Amino acid sequence: MAFNSILTWKFLCICMVGLSILALVSFPPRNPIPTTTLIFGSDRSSRVKTFDLTSRNNEVYQCLPLVQADMAKMCLYNESYISSLLRNNNKHIFDKENFDTLSKLLQSNPDAGFIDIGANLGLYTIFVSKLYQRRVVAVEPFPPVIKRFQKSLQINGLTDYVTLITNPISDSRKTKFFHLQKGNVGQNKLATAYERSNKPMLRVETIVMDDIVRFIPFKSAIMKIDVEGEESRAFSEASELITRIDVVAILMEWRHVKLRQDGNSVQLMSKFLYLMTTNDYLPYSMTQQPLSYGSWDKWPIDVVFKKRSISF
């Protein structure tokens, strides 16, 4: 009798444990603790999202010829800071010093492809693919911008030159929020905690710069990066890209970095500058004047890092 009681008690305990596990699986906590997926090896490429540039796009946009891109057309917003500048100054070269420097680098490096991080409407991508017939890997996460970018490439017959990645690049692989800037889509950026509380947001899956290596079809590259304050963060996970791809020059917006805006700390800055110096990059202004690493906080708003071994 006692033996049967023990068996019955064990059976009830097993049933209770089983029901508890089933309840936890079937009914997860209402507010689970957020987690970050860790991605290793080749699996990380599954997080990278690419856009089919050959897919149908029936949208109608105002598309104007670009002086700096042999009159190739770029599709604009009706109301946007950059679109307004291009629309009102379409007889002049926008960012002339930047494009002059880029042209010299492309001419002196005929085998280099182009990496355009923060492509926006595609001004630099169109310039490189139209004038120099180079392959481009572009990164642009904002859907309305992507559709205009796609339309521009289709109109100009450039889709075969370009691979478009739609994840924002940051210092980690996480779900984050994209702050939508009214009136200037070029200033859309990953949001701070404050902005998340009172600004229009877009939910996005970030990647790190090393994740795009397997999508780059060339061995040598020139890079342009303009990601509204995420520049130093983006390079915090870029050692594989710098090692496997011969990135001969990097054109970068420096305004947010030097003012330490948008979370650009001295620690992030130091890590980025260490990456540049240990890989033999020298800093220059867009007029090709040498700069000193010791005065990085006084550099102009746009700079270029060039490998010591190449010339403008």
Least confidently predicted of 96-105, 111-120, 254-263:
254-263
Judge whether residue 8 has pLDDT over 50: no
Residue 196: inside a domain, yes or no? yes
The secondary element (H helix, E strand) that includes residue 275 is: helix 266-278
Judge whether residue 297 has pLDDT over 70: yes
Which residue range(s) make up the domain with 183?
Answer: 55-307
Q: In the structure, what pLDDT confidence band is assigned to residue 32 with cuts at 50, 70 and 90? A: very low
Least confidently predicted of 10-14, 214-218, 221-225, 232-236:
10-14
Rounded mean pLDDT of 70-91? 72
Q: What is the mean pLDDT of the chain?
A: 81
Q: At what angle do helices 143-155 and 123-132 cross, to 10 degrees?
A: 20
**Total number of domains in the chain:** 1
Residue 109: inside a domain, yes or no? yes
Single out the residue of 166, 250, 278 nearest to residue 212, CA to CA. 166
Q: How many CA atoms lie within 13 A of 138 on its CB side?
A: 33
Residue 78: inside a domain, yes or no? yes
Q: In the structure, what pLDDT confidence band is assigned to residue 22 with cuts at 50, 70 and 90? A: very low
Residue 248: inside a domain, yes or no? yes
Tokens coding 288: 């090709």
- The larger pLDDT score, comparing residue 214 to residue 256, is at 214
Based on DSSP, count helices (H) and strands (E) in the chain, helices before strands.
10, 13
Residue 205: inside a domain, yes or no? yes
Least confidently predicted of 21-35, 134-148, 256-270, 289-303:
21-35
Residue 128: inside a domain, yes or no? yes
Residue 32: inside a domain, yes or no? no
Residue 107: inside a domain, yes or no? yes
pTM of the model: 0.80
Q: In the structure, what pLDDT confidence band is assigned to residue 177 with cuts at 50, 70 and 90? A: confident
Least confidently predicted of 87-91, 148-152, 202-206:
87-91
For 268-281, write each residue's pLDDT tens digit.
888 999 999 999 99
Q: In the structure, what pLDDT confidence band is assigned to residue 20 with cuts at 50, 70 and 90? A: very low
Distance CA 153, CA 304 (A): 26
CATH number at residue 77: 3.40.50.150
Distance CA 144, CA 135 (A): 23
The secondary element (H helix, E strand) that includes residue 195 is: helix 193-198
Decide if 44 contacts 211 (C-beta within 8 A). Answer: yes
Tokens coding 17: 């444990």
